[in-house]
A and B are shown apart, each in its own frame.
Chain A
Amino acid sequence: MTFFRTQSSPWKLAAVAALLALPGVASAEWALNMTEGVTPYSRTVYDLHMLILGVCTVIGIIVFGLMFYSMVKYRKSSGAKAAQWHESTKVEVLWTLVPFLILIGIAVPATKALIMMEDVSDSDLTIKVTGYQWKWHYQYVDSGISFFSTLDSDSNNARQLDSGIDPASVEHYLLNVDNRLVVPVNRKIRFLTTAGDVIHAWWVPALGWKRDAIPGFINESWARIEEPGVYRGQCAELCGKDHGFMPIVVEALPEADYDAWVEKMKGEMQQAARPAATAPVVAAAEADAQGAI
């Protein structure tokens, strides 16, 4: 069988133990933690994640420490005699209040982050994302560009049952598309997500959020990407048999390159077909409807 073909070395197994002991040395393949991402929001989320993880770890060490200490110290076999006390109002009040205060300490930055995420005002451009079984449709509301984005053919061939193609031989297996979503850096992009059939969810971890794409609803979210690059994600809401095969690829270009890309796409679209000329009008009408919501 081909079970161990992709990851065969027994050293890998040994490495697991080492990695568990040293979370800091995580490689890309043995990823352990959330990405910091490339937007102000994703960094806020990362910091919040690390804060709560830290709080939980400290509480865990204290509670489990006391528990394991008891398990060693108060063994019948080592002659421990059980005390008979079974309540203490003082400690009970203390360990109700202290967690409550810790929660407030978490809730304050969390509330700030949430207010930041929900403020979609003053955007520089708007992209409407529509989920279909099993592809994404992108519409640049301001410039009228629109296209579908589906799983690339190399991944699609390799992912068939018993395809005989080694997924490791396919570049960006299952995370590659035919048409990338091209966006500018340093501009506030407003995303409108909706769906044409069932519920999907649009998620690029580097942007720091996911948002459901729901038929009949238009959800708003935003991102301001700070570094040019290619960022990959996937549909995150079960949407049928090919749910695992509708990836998202975002290509963030420097502003000038993005503007050039928009001009190029506009030219191509005008050449391609006249009937498509009404598309921007429809898009504008939809944007108005969204504003009304």
Chain B
Amino acid sequence: MSEAASHHDDHHDHHPSGLMRWLTTTNHKDIGTLYLLLALVMFFIGGAMALVIRAELFQPGLQFVQPQFFNSMTTVHALVMIFGAVMPAWTGFANWMIPMMIGAPDMALPRLNNWSFWILPFAFTLLLSTVFMPGGAPAGGWTMYPPLVLQTGAAFPFLIFAVHFMGASSIAGAINVIVTVFNMRAPGMTLMKLPLFVWTWIITAFLLIASIPVLAGAVTMLLTDKFFGTSFFSAAGGGDPVMFQHIFWFFGHPEVYILILPAFGIISAIVPTFARKPLFGYSSMVYASAAIAFLSFIVWAHHMFTVGMPLAGELFFMYTTVLIAVPTGVKVFNWVATMWHSSMTFETPMLFALGFIVLFTIGGFSGLMLGVTPVDFQYHDTYFVVAHFHYVLVTGAVFSLIAATYFWLPKWTGHMYDEKLGKLHFWLSVISVNVLFFPQHFLGLAGMPRRIPDYSVQFADWNMISSIGAFVFGFSQLLFVVVIWKCVKGGEKATAQVWEGAHGLEWTLPSPPPYHSFETPPEPSTIEGGMR
């Protein structure tokens, strides 16, 4: 390896090859790639579980799995998708893009970076191994409400430690982002010149640091309740099962924005690029993100309106919850205003971004409806909620992740992806995802509770439609893998700028970029020219 490196004109981009390269890497691009690959694998594992769920729900009666296994599928599907697919994918993008966007050579804490990634395979080995254990995988829901979760069998400590590992990894990743952005910006890269993806990621990182330890505390209390005779959450021992829900959702609501804030940054990068027009209201985007982050800490009990809170509590959480619609609305209006009087083209990243804006907004509307307490007494824990959070997470977070992949794939690989296949991937996804999730609004309103393996025949029709959508959507995602594979293997050579309307420091580097992104900081004039 050293011979190869000495022939190279660059200095220190030598590294071990094969497996050791990936195990020992401290390079932000390598680690970013690892995160993204893990996320992709988890996306398909979680997706396979979703297809078990939708297969069982295809028609009334139990055809494939026992109810307990069904509950395990809903539980592990959620944990895998949230902690295994979406969160690591965002950290992967942060690793790849933040140093390139702020003019830095790498992340500030490269060894921590390596460690925070390599915790994750262990975490998911622990979690996924429970599927094969006596008593089965955790089946009490990803929210882990006691007392039900305490009925989990051998899988219980595995669940708790897996959550701890995922949390530790997230906190380490968040610290790395904050330290990198605050210390490694190129001269001239002031905070209010940062690309919005960097801004939304800093805010996300602070949310992670503030909320993940709360989750760690909650699951540790579960562990001691189960094994060490405490009764934090046991009414019989003087504890309080509702307290768990308060603590969990104090983590859980910021978590929602952890999953979606970076998406706002992605859309704010893609729309101006393909509209060939500067982003409308940059500073209001920053302030709106900060406002959403602040509000996310004072709305948690809207997940638990039906536990029986005092009237004053219900009113407080209703008012703060619906208030989130204001900054979120500002964002959507800004994106639409960016398109106004622009000059648009519709490459695959733009298509997914436009799909995001419409479908995420639909998820936002149902979120507003759910936030209104008296009607939530009807919507709560029905398929209406399932439809809502899949609109914001699948057509929200996942669509923006796919958009971001198409957007930067030519930069990463140096090749253009297959635009025809990309567009086919978009149209298959956007149609099937609506066939999958839109009818779930109707099911919920008609009275179908969530997390049930079997249902009354009055719900049969929409469930069948929804399952058909699920299978088409699931298998369409294989196209995504094909496109990525083809692009990594070869294709039309990508220019440095890749997209005609692209602005920002990452587009001043060649495609693919050098191993250490900016070994010397970019000129302040480059920063000015790149910012719009």
Smallest beta-carbon distance B397→chain A, Å? 20
Q: Is the CB of A238 within 8 A of B71?
A: yes
**With A63-B332, A103-B326 as contacts: A30 and B461 at CB distance below 8 Å:** yes
Q: Is the CB of B330 within 8 A of A71?
A: no
**Given the complex of chains A and B, what is the CA–CA distance between A216 and B239 in angstroms?**
9
Closest to A206 in B: B447
Does A215 count as interface, using CB distance less than 8 angstroms?
A: yes
Give a binary string over B451-465; 1 marks a CB under 8 Å from any A CB, 0 the rest.
111111110111011
Contact sample, A vs B, 21 pairs, CB 8 Å cutoff: A2-B63, A30-B462, A48-B375, A52-B368, A52-B372, A60-B362, A63-B361, A67-B336, A70-B340, A74-B339, A95-B329, A110-B373, A110-B375, A158-B61, A210-B381, A212-B304, A212-B308, A217-B242, A236-B382, A237-B381, A241-B68
Q: Is the CB of A70 within 8 A of B339?
A: yes
Does B342 count as interface, using CB distance less than 8 angstroms?
A: yes
Q: Is the CB of B461 within 8 A of A173?
A: no
Q: How many A residues touch B, CB cutoff 8 Å?
A: 104
**Given the complex of chains A and B, what is the CA–CA distance between A13 and B467 in angstroms?**
13
Q: Is the CB of B378 within 8 A of A238?
A: no
Smallest beta-carbon distance B379→chain A, Å? 8
Closest to B451 in A: A238
Q: Is the CB of A209 within 8 A of B67?
A: no
A95-B329, A99-B326, A238-B148 given; 15 more Cβ-contact pairs under 8 Å: A48-B375, A63-B361, A66-B336, A71-B354, A76-B276, A77-B345, A82-B342, A99-B329, A159-B454, A167-B457, A168-B457, A175-B456, A209-B306, A240-B148, A242-B67
Does A127 count as interface, using CB distance less than 8 angstroms?
A: no
Q: Is the CB of B71 within 8 A of A82?
A: no
Q: Is the CB of B278 within 8 A of A86?
A: yes
Contacts of A81 in B (CB 8 A): 343
**Given the complex of chains A and B, what is the CA–CA distance between A217 and B369 in angstroms?**
28
Partner of B358, one of A49, A67, A80, A234: A67
Partner of B378, one of A59, A199, A209: A209
Contacts of A35 in B (CB 8 A): 446-447
* 232-268 of chain A: CB within 8 A of chain B: 233-245
* 32-66 of chain A: CB within 8 A of chain B: 32-35, 44-45, 48-49, 52-53, 56, 59-60, 63-64, 66
Does B281 count as interface, using CB distance less than 8 angstroms?
A: yes
Contacts of A76 in B (CB 8 A): 276, 343-345
Smallest beta-carbon distance A72→chain B, Å? 10
Does A115 count as interface, using CB distance less than 8 angstroms?
A: yes
Closest to B147 in A: A198
Give a binary string over B496-532; 1 marks a CB under 8 Å from any A CB, 0 the rest.
0000000000000000000000000000000000001
The 6 tightest CB contacts between A and B, nearest first, are A216-B235, A244-B452, A31-B446, A219-B308, A113-B374, A209-B377
Q: Is the CB of B306 within 8 A of A210?
A: yes
**With A48-B372, A236-B449, A241-B139 as contacts: A110 and B318 at CB distance below 8 Å:** yes
Q: Is the CB of A84 within 8 A of B339?
A: no
Q: Is the CB of A244 within 8 A of B148?
A: no
Smallest beta-carbon distance A133→chain B, Å? 9
**Given the complex of chains A and B, what is the CA–CA distance between A87 and B369 in angstroms?**
30
Does A91 count as interface, using CB distance less than 8 angstroms?
A: yes
**Given the complex of chains A and B, what is the CA–CA distance between A197 and B62 in angstroms?**
26
Q: Is the CB of A216 within 8 A of B372?
A: no
* 141-160 of chain B: CB within 8 A of chain A: 141, 145, 147-148, 151
Contacts of B362 in A (CB 8 A): 60
Q: Is the CB of A83 within 8 A of B341?
A: yes
Q: Is the CB of B381 within 8 A of A236?
A: yes
Contacts of B241 in A (CB 8 A): 199, 214-217
> How many A-B Cβ pairs are below 8 Å?
301
Does B314 count as interface, using CB distance less than 8 angstroms?
A: yes
Partner of A110, one of B65, B374, B442, B461: B374
Smallest beta-carbon distance A235→chain B, Å? 7
* 206-255 of chain B: CB within 8 A of chain A: 235-236, 240-242
**Given the complex of chains A and B, what is the CA–CA distance between A111 and B372 in angstroms?**
9
**Given the complex of chains A and B, what is the CA–CA distance between A53 and B173 in angstroms?**
40
Contacts of B365 in A (CB 8 A): 56, 59-60
Which B residues lie at the A interface, using CB under 8 A?
58-63, 65-68, 71, 139-141, 145, 147-148, 151, 235-236, 240-242, 275-284, 304, 306-308, 311, 314-315, 318-319, 322-323, 325-326, 329-330, 332-333, 336-346, 354, 357-358, 361-362, 365, 368-369, 372-375, 377-378, 380-382, 442, 445-447, 449, 451-458, 460-462, 464-465, 532
Q: Is the CB of A210 within 8 A of B276?
A: no
Q: Is the CB of A56 within 8 A of B369?
A: yes
**With A6-B60, A103-B323 as contacts: A214 and B242 at CB distance below 8 Å:** yes
Contacts of A56 in B (CB 8 A): 365, 368-369
**Given the complex of chains A and B, what is the CA–CA distance between A140 and B340 in angstroms?**
63
**With A48-B374, A82-B275, A241-B66 as contacts: A31 and B442 at CB distance below 8 Å:** yes
Q: Which of B374, B446, B453, B456 counts the most chain A CB atoms within 10 A?
A: B374
Q: Is the CB of A71 within 8 A of B372?
A: no
Partner of A243, one of B71, B319, B343, B374: B71
Does A141 count as interface, using CB distance less than 8 angstroms?
A: no
Give a binary string over A1-15; 1 marks a CB under 8 Å from any B CB, 0 the rest.
011011100001100
Partner of A201, one of B68, B306, B378: B306
Q: Which of B59, B140, B332, B456 counts the most chain A CB atoms within 10 A?
A: B456
Closest to A218 in B: B308
Q: Is the CB of A82 within 8 A of B145?
A: no
Q: Is the CB of A49 within 8 A of B456?
A: no
Q: Is the CB of A45 within 8 A of B375?
A: yes
Q: Is the CB of B343 within 8 A of A80?
A: yes
Contacts of B140 in A (CB 8 A): 238, 240
**Given the complex of chains A and B, what is the CA–CA distance between A175 and B448 in angstroms?**
11
**Given the complex of chains A and B, what is the CA–CA distance between A163 and B62 in angstroms?**
8
Does A181 count as interface, using CB distance less than 8 angstroms?
A: no
Q: Which of B278, B361, B378 counts the most chain A CB atoms within 10 A?
A: B378
Contacts of B71 in A (CB 8 A): 238, 240-241, 243
Partner of A205, one of B330, B378, B465: B378
Contacts of A31 in B (CB 8 A): 442, 445-447, 458
Does A121 count as interface, using CB distance less than 8 angstroms?
A: no
Contacts of A165 in B (CB 8 A): 61
Does A271 count as interface, using CB distance less than 8 angstroms?
A: no
Q: Is the CB of A96 within 8 A of B452?
A: no
**Given the complex of chains A and B, what is the CA–CA distance between A159 and B151 in angstroms?**
23
Smallest beta-carbon distance A205→chain B, Å? 4
Smallest beta-carbon distance B367→chain A, Å? 10
**Given the complex of chains A and B, what is the CA–CA distance between A2 and B346 in angstroms?**
43
Q: Is the CB of B67 within 8 A of A60?
A: no
Closest to A48 in B: B375
**Given the complex of chains A and B, what is the CA–CA distance between A83 and B341 in angstroms?**
6
**Given the complex of chains A and B, what is the CA–CA distance between A168 and B336 in angstroms?**
48
